[in-house]
Structure 1
Amino acid sequence: MLCRGRAGHRPRLRPHPHPLRDHGRPDHLPPVTTDLPNTAQHPPTRLVVVDLPFTPPLHAAQLFGHLAATAVPGVEEWLPATTMYRGALRRSLRLPGGPGVVVVHVPRPDATSVRADVTTTDPADEPLAVQLCRRLLDLDLDPSLPDTALSQDPVLAPLVAAVPGRRTPGSPSAEEVALRAVLGQQVSTAAARTHAARLAAALGEPAGSSGLRLFPSAASVAALDDDEATRLLALPVRRRETLRNLARVLAAGTLDLRHVDDGGDPERARAQLLALPGIGPWTAQTVTMRALGDTDAFLASDLGVLAAARELGLPGDARPLDRRAAAWAPWRSCAVQHLWGVLPHAINALPG
């Protein structure tokens, strides 16, 4: 298992009656939850507001900007800043006891925790939902470890000094990351979002009464017949078949995409993914980086990474760049975040 710096924090439940109202209440009050009403169409849900501590620094514009720029419409949405809040990402969660929804708020520059509004169908899912929020935001990382290591490289040192605390945006679902990675092969961020939104609108189940949908399960994608797949997936034939085959393998449970904290092995996962038709290094590394908590994935063929490398005087072709990046182990995922920040892109700033 790769070395991973941890903050060693446990979340605290905070009393709060509503996810979008002022939360300036004293921390010593006992935890309070809100039971949301039951309806004929939707089961009852429960809201808790949680503080998710982290080890500073945290570069919010990079972390939340990436999540906002890549958000799948209908599954995720960006909540704009107000006079009281700096913006937030709202998204659905697939949980054992029924759908959930989380809202993770952009922290203040001096904050040491992120506020999360967690709504679950089954209260027993609250600890899992909190854990998934932490993974989504890479909050268990001690950023001093990658920052110190990458600062030893003369090319990366100025980038780290300018923007310390970059983190790797994660995901609450390995299945979702894998399917979205195939949808994102050789297309722009906007096109990948469009493909994923179309799939979610057709196959994603409603996330209670939230107005959001769950990202489609691998089983639902695998069940598409040829005509349905052709109609729903506006992809080249080979990529469409790659997606359907990956969905079948995921639904069968033969891929081990467990998070490293749950015993997952990124090297094994990459090998399993690369054995599948249509899955190359970019897709495999994207999955382990975003879904498994792999600190050492490197996207050598990524167009944004290559463009940044050329701008910095690094090798501008994938193979020599991959060799050059070996010196950045075991923090190559963090190096990718710094390279993506070199050139202007929507992932590097908060919306609006």
Structure 2
Amino acid sequence: MHEDFERCVRAVQAKDARFDGWFFTGVVTTGIYCRPSCPAVPPKPRNMRFHPSAASAQQAGFRACKRCRPDTSPGSPEWNVRADVVARAMRLIGDGVVDREGVPGLASRLGYSVRQVERQLRAELGAGPLALARSQRAQTARLLIETSALPLGQVAFAAGFASIRTFNETVAQVFGMTPSALRERARGGAVQAQAGMLRLRLPFRQPLCPDNLFGHLAATAVPGVEEWREGAYRRTLRLPHGSGVVSLRPGPVYVDCLLWLSDLRDLSRAISRCRWLLDLDADPVAVDELLSGDEVLAPLVAKAPGRRVPRTVDPAEFAVRAVLGQQVSTAAARTHAGRLVEAFGEEVVDPQGGGLSRLFPSMEVLAGADLSGVLAMPAARRDSVSRLASVLASGEVVLDVGADWEAARAGLSVLPGVGPWTVESVAMRALGDPDAFLATDLGVRQAAEGLGLPVSAGALTARARAWRPWRAYAVQYLWATGDHAINRLPVD
């Protein structure tokens, strides 16, 4: 979008928050870059320069606006709706792959050479993977500076910087202030969390309907791993350097996030996964505009606009839970998953004294586990769980935010006991494919029948072509026609 100069100018002049994250505006007379909705007086068009990423603006010599804080805007929805190499790379960079594995590791995951990845990212985003990762480290550093009491030296290494000197130089260049000045500036209005916790605000594009989003997560919560407590969804996190516990509470303009981590190097990954879980980088206006063009869906969209797709913080975990949930009730699926957790999950301490006690078992543990005395189900289904865990642990099938959607579908489809419903559920909620469609799902079929839509899988799939590329969101509106706990916020 950043190449459409006139459209970008109109968005800036209108201070349209819907375009936050789509592009960034560099102002040549001030040397700063802003989000489109910046409350300052818009600059003259001749002084505007548009960039596709914060990293691109930073490389061009602009520093972040202190008023609108463009580094905290929602991410571009482009990266979550596309399946090409640039979108996959951006999702992986957001999940910290460059920090952990370097650019060669990123390229290897994508199946391209380092040179090819560099070229494609620079062509579309104006910055290479190292610059994009550096921009993310700067944002993580700012969060730690402003929301924690950690010494600045610890902040530098927790944010992923190799040296304090690089940390100081990057923060000063990106934000136009030293780390100590940033902390001093934040002290006046910062919201303090309890000891050991970080309190963050996760922005999103409005509207957002929390009912099905948080309702689904709460209704399917696995005991010990997830819970709904005092108006918030809480769960444990398995992260690259350790474990974590997060509490997410819906609000009118942002999601309140209370986060505890055993290793602060996992902060950016934890935030990225929480945003992914809640689908916070979606563009609800574009989704609802298309779905409202269907006379059957239009009333459903008008009643509760802004439905998101409830996702997961761990794609492998969700795949196992999807197999456990085949042809059984939500309660039975929770019971099966809870038994796995009790038998094989690693113990954690809930820092808030709640009901969280374990991490979901790793695929390596499940692959070698004897499930016969744990899962009360047919032997064939237990074998399906074991086989799935084995191929995920070995890397034979890759399920992560940067996975190739069609390759993952193909890898899952050949596994015994994994049918179309499971494959599409994983594509929708674990891989984030916005066009995944559960034509055989009981709730979808019941909704279709009640709305006068075709009920057979083939006919309904044909009818749903008009909803592309947002069929996963159409599923949310169809599910919402039923009287099920997944469609409403729990009552404490």
Fold shared, TM-score > 0.5 on shorter chain: yes
In the other structure, the counterpart of 1:240 is 382
How far the C-alpha of 1:64 sits from its partner, in A, is 0.7
Which whole-Å CA distance do the structure 2 matches of 1:272 and 1:128 have between them?
26
Distance in 1 (CA, whole Å) between partners of 2:405 and 2:210 is: 26
- What SS is found at the alignment partner of 2:359? coil
> 2:245, 2:350 within 8 Å by CA — same for their partners in 1?
no
AA in 1 matched with 2:361: P
Give the counterpart of 1:224 among 345, 366, 369: 369
Per the TM alignment, residue 153 of structure 1 is displaced from its structure 2 partner at its CA by 1.0
Mapping of residues 1-352 of structure 1, within 5 Å: 8=21, 9=73, 13=143, 15=147, 29=188, 46-80=196-230, 87-107=231-251, 111-210=252-351, 211-225=356-370, 229-259=371-401, 262=402, 264-352=403-491
Q: Is the 8 A contact 1:70 1:189 kept in 2?
A: yes
Match of residue 7 from structure 2: none
Determine helix, strand or coil for the equivalent of 1:255: coil
- For structure 1, list consecutive stretches of 5 or more residues without a partner in the other structure: 18-25, 37-45, 81-86
Tell me how far 1:319 sits from its aligned partner. Answer: 1.9
Higher RCO (CA 8 Å, separation ≥ 6 residues)? 1
- CA drift of 1:106 comes to 2.0
Cα deviations by residue, 1:56-85 (Å, 9 ceiling, x for unpaired): 1110111111110011011001113xxxxx
Give the C-alpha shift of residue 6 in structure 1: 8.2
User: Are the aligned partners of 2:392 and 2:399 in contact in 1 as well (CA < 8 Å)?
Assistant: no
Q: CA deviation at 1:266?
A: 1.6
Task: Provide the rounded CA distance (Å) in 1 between the counterparts of 2:268 and 2:190.
Answer: 14
Residue 365 of structure 2 aligns with an amino acid whose one-letter code is S
More helix by share: 2
TM-score, normalised to structure 2's length? 0.61
Give the CA RMSD over aligned residues: 2.2
Distance between the aligned counterparts of 1:309 and 1:239, measured in 2?
29
Q: TM-score, normalised by structure 1?
A: 0.85
The letter for the 1-side match of 2:373 is: R
Does the 8 Å contact 1:137/1:170 carry over to 2?
Answer: yes
- Write the distance in 2 (CA, Å) between the matches of 1:249 and 1:233: 20
Give the whole-Å Cα distance in 2 for the aligned partners of 1:192 and 1:6. Answer: 39
SS of residue in 1 equivalent to 2:372: helix
Looking at structure 2, the residues matched to 89 and 209 of structure 1 have their Cα atoms a distance apart, in angstroms, of 14
Q: Helix, strand or coil for the counterpart of 1:103?
A: strand
Consecutive unaligned residues of structure 2, counting only runs of 5 or more, are: 1-17, 22-72, 75-138, 150-184
Aligned mates of 2:448, 2:20 — CA distance in 1: 31
Give the aligned length.
Answer: 316
Alpha-carbon spacing, 1:285–1:29, altered in 2? closer, same or farther (3 Å): farther
Misfit runs of 4+, over 3 Å: 10-17, 26-36, 208-211
Tell me if the contact between 1:68 and 1:77 (Cα under 8 Å) persists in the aligned partners: yes
Aligned partner letter, 1:60: P
- Aligned residue identity for 1:95: L
